[in-house]
Amino acid sequence: MKRVFSGVKPTGHLTLGNYIGAMRRWVTVDQHQADALFCIVDLHALTVEHDPARVCRLSRQAGTLLLAAGLDPELCTVFVQSHVDEHARLSYLLECVATDGEMRRMIQYREKAALERGRGGSVRLSLLTYPVLMAADILAYGTDEVPVGDDQAQHVELTRDLAVRFNQRYGHAFVVPRATHPEVGARVMNLQDPTSKMGKSDDVGPGIVYLLDEPDVVRKKVMRAVTDSGQDVVYDREARPGVANLLEILAACTGGNPEGLSGVYESYGALKKDTAEAVIEVLRPVQQRHKELCTDPGYVEGVLRDGAERARAMARPTVDAAYRAIGLLPAA
């Protein structure tokens, strides 16, 4: 059975982008067809300025939401990255095969570093090495496939490069993974700025639909989405990014494709109304289950504890073998 690994970073409340771009596929496809692990990558949340109590709270919330969205601990492994030491152990080894030039070329590093500097802050070294830790997450489990949104494609490419390089230098230690992306919704854009990604760590609240937004809030955000100056509702990502984004969200929520919806609507208002209702319908069962799970925090904790135990048992042999391959003296 193929191995699937993916993760979500607790730097903000989970968004519709996380759901459409990644989580939905984990729930509907990956957990049924693969030996799948889904990780709340809390160590990654420490790479930018953070509030310790908030990261802790968001990690618990992410665990609850992953289960609310439909991940089933009978079918897959859900756990928290910092509960499994192997991620940090392997990350260091991979730092010894990665180069600083490679790290500095990463788009997300450049964007986030520029943002931090723009705010007058300094850039944490861990932001530079972020992709190496991500590679460790993936490679520790012999992962075949990494289901992610488009924005993670470059990181998965780097992971492949590091795996191949390590294997060539030190003997076969890692499976070389590949990214998979959803056909529709691999990059959901901000409703207020459809040329930039809907990201949970951004500050522009009105352009972001959160998984726990009440129906009225969703309606308001979608109805106020920035559209384009034209009149006809056609799908054109370049010329009409605002309308294209709404068509993609609608298609992703109703199981269609955005090209098929092109020309169907007579006005932006009608498109927005249907999109809002479709999003509300997708979120409804997730929110309902989230509410139920919040009454039983012990259950979620138990799932994460068992998940970490299973994950540790899977990662340890791979990471131990990599330690030996690279020349470290075994402890016993």
CB of 81 within 8 A of CB of 40?
Answer: yes
Q: Out of 1, 3, 13, 17, name the contact with ligand TYM by CB under 6 A.
A: 17
Query: Please, which residue, 5 or 268, has the CB nearer to ligand TYM?
Result: 5
Considering the complex, what minimum distance in angstroms separates the CB of residue 131 from ligand TYM?
8
Q: Out of 80, 94, 188, 253, name the contact with ligand TYM by CB under 6 A.
A: 188
Our finding on whether 24 is near ligand TYM (CB under 6 A) is: no
Q: Out of 24, 187, 221, 272, name the contact with ligand TYM by CB under 6 A.
A: 187
Judged by CB under 6 A, which stretch of 27-35, 112-120, 149-157, 272-280 contacts ligand TYM? 149-157
Instruction: Tokens for 238, please give them.
Output: 């370049």
Our finding on whether 247 is near ligand TYM (CB under 6 A) is: no
Cα–Cα dist 9/81, whole Å = 10
For residue 97, give every residue at least 6 positions away whose Cβ sits within 8 Å of its Cβ, in sequence order, or none.
162, 165, 166, 169
Residues in the chain: 332
CB of 173 within 8 A of CB of 159?
Answer: no
Catalytic residue, chosen from 112, 220, 221, 291, is 112
Q: CB count, 10 Å around CB of 1?
A: 8
Considering the complex, what minimum distance in angstroms separates the CB of residue 42 from ligand TYM?
10
Any idea of the CA torsion for 82, 88, 90, 95, to the nearest 10 degrees? 140
Our finding on whether 132 is near ligand TYM (CB under 6 A) is: no
Angle in degrees, CA 140, 52, 84, rounded to 5? 20
Helix H, strand E, coil C: the string for 182-249 is CCCCCCCECCCCCCCECCCCCCCHHHCCECCCCHHHHHHHHHCCCCCCCCCCCCCCCCCHHHHHHHHH
Q: Is 137 annotated as a binding residue?
A: yes
Mark whether 197 is an active-site residue. yes
Q: Is 151 annotated as a binding residue?
A: yes
Catalytic residue, chosen from 200, 221, 272, 291, is 200
Cα–Cα dist 319/86, whole Å = 7
For residue 111, give every residue at least 6 positions away whose Cβ sits within 8 Å of its Cβ, in sequence order, or none.
none
Our finding on whether 25 is near ligand TYM (CB under 6 A) is: no
Our finding on whether 73 is near ligand TYM (CB under 6 A) is: no
Judged by CB under 6 A, which stretch of 2-10, 114-122, 163-171, 249-257 contacts ligand TYM? 2-10
Judged by CB under 6 A, which stretch of 26-34, 89-97, 143-151, 265-273 contacts ligand TYM? 143-151
Mark whether 112 is an active-site residue. yes
Considering the complex, what minimum distance in angstroms separates the CB of residue 327 from ligand TYM?
26
3 state DSSP class of 18 = helix
Our finding on whether 163 is near ligand TYM (CB under 6 A) is: no
Size of the site for ligand TYM (CB under 6 A): 26
Instruction: Tokens for 317, please give them.
Output: 């042999």
- Report CA Rg, the chain: 20
Judged by CB under 6 A, which stretch of 131-139, 160-168, 211-219, 264-272 contacts ligand TYM? 131-139
Binding-site positions for L-tryptophan read: 137
Binding-site positions for ATP read: 9-11, 17-18, 149-151, 188, 197-201
Catalytic residue set: 112, 197, 200
